[in-house]
Homo-oligomer: A and B are copies of this chain.
Amino acid sequence: METPRYPLADVGPLPEDIRARILAVQEKSGFVPNVFLVLARRPDEFRAFFAYHDALMEKAGGLTKAEREMIVVATSAANKCLYCVVAHGAILRIRAKNPRVDAQVATDYRHAEITPRQKAMLDFAMQVSQASHALEDADFAALAAHGFTDEDAWDIGAIAALFALSNRMAHLTGMRPNDEFHALGRAAPAK
């Protein structure tokens, strides 16, 4: 595994708001995910990225947090983004309380242990991620048939769009997933 092309930021000299966010995530997770240290080299981009991330991933709405992570994992796997598949795969295992679902969604979401509604959600997300110009009314109708509103459609598509950006930044910067992610969320709850 090669060295990242851009050095990870030292936390010490970072602007206060960025440093605070990084320390908070470290306290919560026990480690600092590399995406923070890669993007912190450019504070304005860091702030914009996480503002966008929070606006889509932390908001209220018709999607559960596990479902949002499914979108990230499915589209990032299609884009072969190692960082996002490993990091968000871990979060997905935790949020879905299922130690198998991330590998399933990453490899072939159509045969994963998910609901038909979630499969429809991922069909839409993959269309946005892989060929958004071909989106058509039928894609929105397929979502609506599972009870998703037009605002949900925006959420699904916008998450796919944000990780289209994020996957490319990870590849551009040679971002490596922290080893810690692999071990998270592996304990299987009772089914």
Binding site for B on A (CB under 8 A): 1-2, 5-6, 42, 44-45, 47-49, 51-52, 54-56, 59, 77, 79-82, 85-86, 89, 99-100, 103-104, 106-108, 110-114, 128-129, 132-136, 140, 150, 153-154, 157-158, 160-162, 164-169, 171-174, 176, 179, 182-183, 186, 188
Contact = CB atoms under 8 A, between A and B. Distances in A.
Given A44-B51, A182-B99, A168 B172 contact: no
B1 A168 contact: no
Question: For the complex, would chain A's binding face be called helix, strand, loop or mixed by DSSP majority?
Answer: helix
Contacts of A59: 44
Contacts of A55: 42, 44-45, 48
Query: What is the count of identical protomers in the complex?
Result: 6
B165 A162 contact: yes
A157 B39 CA distance: 13
Nearest to A176: B111
Given A104-B82, A133-B81, A168 B173 contact: no
A152 B48 CA distance: 19
Contacts of A89: 103
A112 to B, nearest CB: 7
Contact of A49 (B2, B52, B134, B173): B52
